[in-house]
Structure 1
């Protein structure tokens, strides 16, 4: 697959979703390597088993996440179609506007809209709904490319965890390097997240690192 082909795949995935998948993959890989640290201290470490298990786990969860994305997309569109039918079936305009207000609440959103502006928005949506026709519910190529991107992101995050074991002969030092590499990538993920969300990069990086390590600690403690 060419670089252009890869870029087109990732273009169909929202940056926030992409970074979320990277974070998930890193946490999965770090759970394996941190847990293996405990095994190393007690029984010794089988490097080959660790590499296979780490890659296998992330690949498996990459497949699961991709399937869940497809299911979620289908559910979302089915819900929108159901909303369309509810609006069409409303007994009057007030009931239709109430359906829209319930589905798209202004309260709690980043926007601080005035009541008149919110009503104007709902009336515009209502007018659009009345003129439109329900589209056929089906998955698009963009949906499949986004699912493929999710699979690639979650699977690829296993690579930073296993590369040190191919470069360093000492299993103990390789495991330390692997854990350090993954922790640094947690920080980088948080830093990048701030670039898309408008937050403070360094603060977001530290927060993401601490959150990731906290989740890993929970997973290890519970035997995950």
Structure 2
């Protein structure tokens, strides 16, 4: 039977090369990874994969990656990831995909790049994949719930219902909706190598 074509991820390619370097036979590697011997010999010639892997910051992003193909402009890519890291180090709590795309357009003009690029969602996904960037929820201030006050209110509420002889259909909950116009979003883009993003106290300015 003809063997089904299999594409190895960057992580698998690095593992294969390391095993090959330690003396594991080509036949054993073919059986383990389900590939042909020609694939092993081709990878053996691509020693730059090991250098690429060693220099890459995020290992998680390499799990799904299968080629060494980089950005169309390494200069823009370098400027954008430096900008992203700087904004994160300054404590900017929320960086969205739209902000990254807009900053890429700015760098495109500043670098006088001649090719056309829309910097769409497709471009954004590839950029995030290259640098192990994903969407994270920003943790707010940690506070313990006042369970004692909640338990006391249950007893107090039961007394009110009994005293006023309220029926179930007379008991309901009402709430309000407010626009916190100065509050930062609770999600941000961050690299996988970062610690979980932690926010501060939310601004209460609202309508």
Please confirm whether the aligned pair reaches a TM-score higher than 0.5, indicating the same fold: no
TM-score, normalised by the number of residues in structure 2: 0.24
Larger Rg, first or second structure (1 or 2): 2
TM-score, normalised by the number of residues in structure 1: 0.23
